[in-house]
Amino acid sequence: MENVLLEVNNHIAQLTIHRPKALNALNKQTIAELSESLDPLAENPKVRVLIITGSGEKAFVAGADIKEFAGFDVKEGAQLAAAGHEMLFDKIENFPKPVIAAVNGFALGGGLELAMACHFRIASDNARLGLPETSLGLIPGYGGTQRLPQLVGKGKAIEMITTASMITAQDAYKWGLVNQVVAPAELADTCQKIAQKIAFNSPMAVSAALRAISGGFNDKVNGYNIEISEFGKCFGTDDFKEGTIAFLEKRKPNF
């Protein structure tokens, strides 16, 4: 892989988008590399949490690669939007393990859409977030019109998308777009600590919780029914036995 770096340590995988000269802008190759990286990580039982971040201190991802999409026509635009959803953005949203976006700088356009497809976001205080597509004669094409209102509400999403303005990390925190804001030097460590907490818990239960929570955002299913079904299934697992026995034996569980 040329544009994506992968590290796996102590149950935590990190994918770093590495195109620093283009502020980590997403071109087709980077989208393909990210997509291909996800399948083996989803299946690898040693991996319990995934962190996605950008290379360098300036940008998470400064959008889709403008140089690449500048020449697209109507057919290519629609086809690539659909392909991008399937190959990457929906794949991250439906990833069976928690995905944390470590937003280490500009998260613009497709970059903010990537961060929003992740399960939650931690930002450095120099981060700037926005969907500037309308300033380029476009609208967000990788889920931004749907995921931004889910996170910040309809009114704020309409304001962000129609003004094409960037917001600060602090405003993103106040609006619920990011869960926490930390100094740039603390971002990696903060994400690792959160990931370690997740990795300590039952991977089976963590995946089941993700499926139940996501069920509530899927119009085709009833989230409460997913919760009931996933809850019931937990009782038949080794993790449930280990978790409850460990509690009764006054020791930490070993999942």
Enzyme catalytic residues: 113, 133
> For the purposes of burial, counting CB atoms within 10 Å of the CB of 34, is it exposed (0-12), middle (13-18) or buried (19 or more)?
buried
Comparing CB distances to ligand DAK, the nearer of 47 and 138 is: 138
Judged by the rule CB under 6 A, the positions of this chain that interact with ligand DAK are 22-23, 25, 62-67, 69, 72, 77, 80-81, 84, 106, 108-110, 132-133, 136, 138, 141-142
Short-list 126, 105, 118, CA closest to 24: 105
The least distance separating ligand DAK from the CB of residue 142, rounded to whole angstroms, comes to 5
φ, ψ for residue 45, nearest 5 deg = -65, -20
Q: What Cα–Cα distance (Å) separates residue 33 from each residue in 11, 23, 100, 114, 234?
A: 21, 17, 18, 14, 34
Comparing CB distances to ligand DAK, the nearer of 114 and 212 is: 114
The least distance separating ligand DAK from the CB of residue 47, rounded to whole angstroms, comes to 28
The least distance separating ligand DAK from the CB of residue 6, rounded to whole angstroms, comes to 23
The crossing angle, in degrees rounded to 10, of helices 238-248 and 203-215 is 120
The least distance separating ligand DAK from the CB of residue 220, rounded to whole angstroms, comes to 24
φ, ψ for residue 17, nearest 5 deg = -80, 120
Contact between 110 and 63 under an 8 Å Cβ cutoff? The reply is yes
> For the purposes of burial, counting CB atoms within 10 Å of the CB of 71, is it exposed (0-12), middle (13-18) or buried (19 or more)?
exposed
Comparing CB distances to ligand DAK, the nearer of 65 and 230 is: 65
Comparing CB distances to ligand DAK, the nearer of 63 and 215 is: 63
